[in-house]
Amino acid sequence: MTSPVLYYVRHGETDWNVEGRLQGRRDTPLNPVGKRQAAVCADILRDLLARDGAAPADYAYVASPLQRARQTAEIMRAALGLVPGDYRVDARLSEIGFGEWEGLTFPEVRSRAPRALAARERDKWGFAPPGGESYAQVAARMREWYGGLKGNAVVVAHGGTARALIVVLGIAPPREAPSIHIGQGIVYRFAKGSMSRYG
């Protein structure tokens, strides 16, 4: 089987994004900017699919169970003329868990746990915050998820899962992937071992 084409969208903006807070598994909603970003992604996706000779209904849709991703998926699907809630949810697409650091900003983490933050800076791929996950652990679940794909898909998830997928697909090495910026209001196309950015 040829490798699937994935259109990947990071959820739209939340208030915690604006505040620089580590969200992880916290179930934060989109803010008004995030809702507009989701609609923009629908327009970008429509154009990209048309370029591929495909219609929005030709692709499977799957999202993280966290509401910021589900809201993004539903706004996109409605704008594409699809039934908003008719998509799959997969827990393996959940954001990287930050454990005890969730809800904090990096300056707050630095004041509370400077040694741990320094350890993270030395090994962003392998480091896991207390009660949280490492990128290596996220990559294991993303590898399993990707291996089960049956065809082309539109994915709505998170920055951390995108970085893990980049390593799973061999696009960047583990030492570089955690620093790759994954923007909001952007559609990423994964195909044939490469990633393209639109938006």
Q: Is residue 105 part of a domain?
A: yes
The domain that holds 108 is classified in CATH as 3.40.50.1240
Domain, as residue range, for 152: 6-198
Contacts of 134 (CB under 8 A, 6+ apart): 125, 126, 127, 128
Domains held by the chain: number: 1
Active-site residue numbers? 11, 95
Residue indicated by tokens 């300056």: 107
Q: Work out whether strand 6-10 and strand 187-191 pair parallel, antiparallel, or are unpaired.
A: antiparallel
pLDDT, tens digit only, all 199 positions of the chain: 578 999 999 999 999 999 999 999 999 999 999 999 999 999 999 999 999 999 999 999 999 999 999 999 999 999 999 999 999 999 999 999 999 999 999 999 999 999 999 999 999 999 999 999 999 999 999 999 999 999 999 999 999 999 999 999 999 999 999 999 999 999 999 999 999 999 9
Q: What is the pTM of this model?
A: 0.96
Q: 124 near 138, Cβ under 8 Å?
A: no
Distance CA 178, CA 71 (A): 25
Q: Is residue 127 part of a domain?
A: yes
Burial class (CB in 10 A: 0-12, 13-18, 19+), 144: exposed
